[in-house]
Chain A
Amino acid sequence: MTTVGIKAAAYCLNFAPELALHYGGTPRQERRAKPDSEFLRDLPGRAQTFEQAAAYAPNQAYIGAMTLEELAQAPAPWSDNPVREARFGTFGEIMPEDEFLGLMDICDVFDLIWLEEGVAASVAAKLARNPVLGEKQLARLEKGRPLADLEEAVRQHALPLYLHGRLAGCCRRAHDTDENLEAGVMLENLASKASGVLALLHLIRNAGLAPADIDFVVECSEEAVGDTMQRGGGNMAKALAEIAECVNASGFDVRAFCAGPVAALITAAGMVASGARPNVAVVSGGSVPKLYMNARDHVKKNVPPLENCLGSFALLLTPDDGQTPVMRLDSLGKHTVGAGASPQAVTTALTFDPLSRVGLRLTDVDKYAPELHNAEVTLPAGAGNVPEANYKMIAALAVMKGQIARGDIDAFVAERGMPGFAPIQGHIPSGVPYVGHALEAMKAGRIRRAMIIGKGSLFLGRLTNLADGASFILEAPGMGAGAGRQVRQEDVTEMLLTALGDLAATLQKGR
Chain B
Amino acid sequence: MGKLDGKKLLLLGERDGVPGPAMADVFADSGAEVLFSATECFV
Which residues of A are in contact with B by a Cβ distance under 8 Å? 258, 294, 340-343, 371, 373, 378, 381-384, 386, 389-390, 424, 426, 429, 455, 457, 459-460, 465-467
Contact = CB atoms under 8 A, between A and B. Distances in A.
A467 B42 contact: no
A101 B25 CA distance: 49
Given A371-B16, A386-B16, A465 B21 contact: yes
7 contacts: A341-B19, A342-B22, A343-B19, A383-B43, A390-B16, A426-B43, A457-B41
Contacts of A467: 15, 19, 39
Contacts of B18: 342-343
B21 A384 contact: no
Contacts, number: 63
A340 B43 contact: no
A145 to B, nearest CB: 39
B17 A389 contact: yes
A373 B43 contact: yes
A341 B22 contact: yes
Given A455-B16, A457-B15, A457-B41, 15 more contacts: A258-B41, A341-B19, A341-B20, A341-B21, A341-B22, A371-B16, A378-B42, A383-B16, A383-B43, A384-B17, A389-B16, A389-B17, A457-B39, A460-B40, A460-B41
Interface in B8-43: 14-22, 25, 37-43
Contacts of B17: 343, 384, 389
A104 to B, nearest CB: 26
B43 A459 contact: no
- State which size class the interface on B falls in: 10 to 19
Nearest to B14: A383
Contacts of A381: 42
Nearest to B18: A343
Contacts of A455: 15-16
A41 B2 CA distance: 50
Given A384-B16, A465-B37, A465-B38, A371 B22 contact: no
B38 A459 contact: yes
A455 B21 CA distance: 16
A465 B20 contact: yes
A342 B24 CA distance: 10
Nearest to A370: B16
A231 to B, nearest CB: 21
Contacts of A386: 16, 43
Nearest to A430: B43
B22 A378 contact: no
A342 B41 contact: no
A465 B39 CA distance: 7
Contacts of B21: 340-341, 465-466
A466 B15 CA distance: 10
Residue of B15, B20, B38 with highest tally of chain A CB at under 10 A: B15
A340 B22 contact: yes
A429 B38 CA distance: 23
Given A467-B15, A467-B19, A424 B43 contact: yes
A383 B22 contact: no
Contacts of A465: 20-21, 37-39
B42 A382 contact: yes
A460 B42 CA distance: 11
Contacts of A466: 21
Q: Which one of A341, A371, A424 has the greatest number of beta carbons of chain B within 10 Å?
A: A341
A29 to B, nearest CB: 15
Contacts of B39: 341, 457, 459, 465, 467
A355 to B, nearest CB: 21
Contacts of B25: 340-342
Given A342-B25, A384-B16, A371 B37 contact: no
B19 to A, nearest CB: 4
Contacts of A460: 40-41
A371 B42 CA distance: 12
A371 B38 contact: no
Contacts of A294: 42
B24 to A, nearest CB: 9
A340 B25 CA distance: 9
A386 B17 CA distance: 9
